[in-house]
Structure 1
Amino acid sequence: MIEIVVYDPRWPSLFASVRDRLTGPLTGLVDRIEHVGSTAVPGLAARPTVDLTAVVESLDHLPAVIGRLAPLGYCHEGDLGVRGRHAFTTPPDAPPHHLYVCAADDPGFADVLAFRDYLRTHPDTARAYAELKYFLAERFRDDRAGYTAAKSAFINRIVATATRS
């Protein structure tokens, strides 16, 4: 079921705690770990799951990343249909989050950052996005693929605006 909740001011610290848990094991492989998605935008309503992206210089490092994450309880799930972005299961003892790995030069990752950063600096657009998400969550309550697809036009428009600037 798709649930959208009001912004939780604990999301940044939840991100930081997961990031800190990953930093040591991924040292030397990961350039940085970014807080992405709606929980990374202060004040934005979101699904209550923090999204993190670990950025590697090249996906050649992916096998080593998979090996270092396995002892922490993460299992590689492949790209889940998003080329260039690799997903991992969340360990049962961890707070709710989605962990992804992508290369620093991945165009899709650049779009994710552009969207996040635009919403952070344009509160009216962030509010409009929240309203859309509430509406779509009601409409597509049990259809995550439909919910995601229905947000695409809005997201693509904002990414186009953000990358033109």
Structure 2
Amino acid sequence: MRLDPIDIVPYDPAWETAYADERDRVTTALAGWLTGPVEHIGSTSVPGLPAKPIIDMLARVPKWDPALTWPLADALAAIGWVHAPEPTDDAQRKWSFCFPDARWRTHHLHVVGEDWNWRPLLAFRDHLRTHPADAAEYARIKTELAATDRHDRPAYRAGKAPFIESILTRLSAEGETRTIKLE
């Protein structure tokens, strides 16, 4: 299966509404499992930041347990989401879901256990929201990577990683987050 291309587009204020609409539906569908709010993460959650037009979301459950895969998948399928496992999901102890489908998704939901290293995702998001120079540099890096090969997601992710880790290391040194590495 060939995934949608990596296209970085200008920030769209409608992304916040698109997130809120699905957040409410996902919150209702997963109400029996959630341990916190469904968060808007990734570049679409940072006002003004160019991004792939895919709303990344994070939901937390008490702990990762493979036995939860199908109950979670069934609950989300009832509202139109599809289970779209990524190659690293089991190793990273998380689940991936897409809406409306995996090939041309508008939303990507990461469901993780509280024991997963999720705090850096929020710390990075919050940092970019309050540090425009870092957000601009991140936009430059992402745009450059996407221009190199629109279909090489592993290279795109790997190319962003050093910048993300440098910000998380800085935040850790400043005492703003307990963990410095994304999983």
Residue matched to 1:88: 97
SS in 1 for 2:38: strand
Normalising by structure 2, we get a TM-score of 0.81
Match of 1:102 among 104, 112, 124: 112
Residue matched to 2:27: 23
- Give the percent of matched residue pairs that are identical in Structure 1 and Structure 2: 40
Q: Note the C-alpha offset of 1:105.
A: 3.2
Q: Note the C-alpha offset of 1:67.
A: 2.8
| Residues 91 and 41 of structure 1: CA distance in aligned 2, closer, same or farther (over 3 Å) | same
Residue matched to 1:78: 85
Give aligned pairs, total. Answer: 163
Unmatched segments (≥5 aa) in structure 2: 175-183
CA distance in 2, matches of 1:37, 1:85: 16
Are the aligned partners of 1:14 and 1:95 in contact in 2 as well (CA < 8 Å)? Answer: no
CA distance in 1, matches of 2:139, 2:97: 26
| Residues 120 and 62 of structure 1: CA distance in aligned 2, closer, same or farther (over 3 Å) | farther
CA distance in 2, matches of 1:163, 1:57: 25
Could you tell which deviates more after superposition, 97-106 or 45-54? 97-106
Q: Note the C-alpha offset of 1:79.
A: 4.7
Are the aligned partners of 2:98 and 2:106 in contact in 1 as well (CA < 8 Å)? Answer: no
1:141 aligns with 2:147: no
Are the aligned partners of 1:80 and 1:87 in contact in 2 as well (CA < 8 Å)? Answer: no
CA distance in 2, matches of 1:77, 1:10: 25
Normalising by structure 1, we get a TM-score of 0.89
Q: Deviations over 1:12-51 (max 9, x none)?
A: 1110000111122211211220100000111111001100
1:33 aligns with 2:38: yes
Unmatched segments (≥5 aa) in structure 1: none
Q: How does 1:7-22 map to 2 (within 5 A)?
A: 7-22=11-26
Matching residue's letter, 1:142: H
CA distance in 2, matches of 1:77, 1:5: 24
Residue matched to 1:158: 167
SS in 2 for 1:88: strand
CA distance in 1, matches of 2:34, 2:148: 38
Matching residue's letter, 1:97: H
Aligned CA-pair RMSD: 2.0
Are the aligned partners of 2:9 and 2:51 in contact in 1 as well (CA < 8 Å)? Answer: yes
Are the aligned partners of 2:11 and 2:47 in contact in 1 as well (CA < 8 Å)? Answer: yes
Match of 2:48 among 43, 51, 64: 43
Whichever structure has more helix as a proportion of its residues is 1
